[in-house]
Chain A
Amino acid sequence: MYLQTSQQKTIRSVNPLIMVGLFVGLLLIRTTAFWISPSLFSNWDLLLPFMLYFGQRRPLFEGLLLWFILSHLYSLNSVAPMGVFVVYYLILFVIARLISEAFFATEGIQILGLISVLAVSSRFILPLVAKGFNSGWPIWSWRNLHLGMIFTNIVLGWICYRGLSFVDKITFKDARQILDLGEGLA
Chain B
Amino acid sequence: MNVFKIRRFIIKFKALVTSNKKLVVFGLSTVTVCFLALYIHQHRSGRTGRVDNALTWVTGNLQENTGFFTQGIRKITNTYVFLVNAAKRNEILETEIAEAKQKLVQLQEVEAANRRLSSLLDFKAGLPTKTLPARVVAYDVSPDFLGIRINRGSSDGIRLGMGVIHPGGVVGTIHRVSDHFSDVLTLADPASSIDAVIQRSRARGIISGETNSLNCKLKYMDKLEDVTQDDPVVSTNFGDVFPSGLLIGHVSEVSSTSNGILQDITVKTAVDLYRLEEVLVVVSSNQSAKNNP
Contact = CB atoms under 8 A, between A and B. Distances in A.
A120 B185 CA distance: 26
A110 interface: no
A149 B184 contact: no
Nearest to B77: A36
A46 B56 CA distance: 18
A12 B44 CA distance: 38
Contact residues of A: prevailing secondary structure: helix
B202 interface: no
Interface stretch (A2-10, A49-57, A80-88, A163-171): A80-88
Contacts of B70: 29, 32-33, 35
A31 interface: yes
A24 interface: yes
A176 B70 CA distance: 38
Given A38-B274, A78-B140, A90-B36, A28 B66 contact: yes
B250 interface: no
A81 B145 CA distance: 10
B195 interface: no
Interface footprint category on A: 35 or more
Contacts of B274: 34, 38, 42
Interface string A131-147: 00001110001011010
A112 interface: no
B176 interface: yes
A99 interface: no
A18 interface: no
Question: Which of A41, A77, A126 has the most CB atoms of chain B within a 10 A radius of its CB?
Answer: A77
Nearest to B185: A79
Given A27-B59, A135-B191, A137-B190, A32 B147 contact: no
A73 interface: yes
A30 B28 contact: no
Contacts of A175: none
Contacts of B184: 79
A30 B149 CA distance: 13
Given A28-B62, A28-B66, A83-B40, A90 B32 contact: yes
Nearest to A45: B143
A43 interface: yes
Contact of B189 (A27, A77, A79, A126): A79
21 contacts: A24-B62, A30-B141, A32-B63, A32-B66, A41-B139, A44-B143, A45-B143, A73-B55, A74-B141, A74-B142, A77-B138, A79-B189, A80-B142, A80-B145, A83-B40, A85-B142, A126-B144, A135-B190, A135-B191, A136-B190, A143-B210
Closest 6 CB pairs of A and B: A79-B147, A82-B43, A83-B40, A31-B138, A77-B141, A135-B191
Interface of B: 18, 25, 28, 32, 36, 39-40, 43-44, 48, 52, 55-56, 59, 62-63, 66-67, 70, 74, 137-147, 149, 175-176, 183-186, 189-191, 210-213, 274
Interface of A: 24, 27-35, 38, 41-46, 60, 64, 72-74, 76-83, 85-87, 90, 126-127, 130, 135-137, 141, 143-144, 146, 149, 183
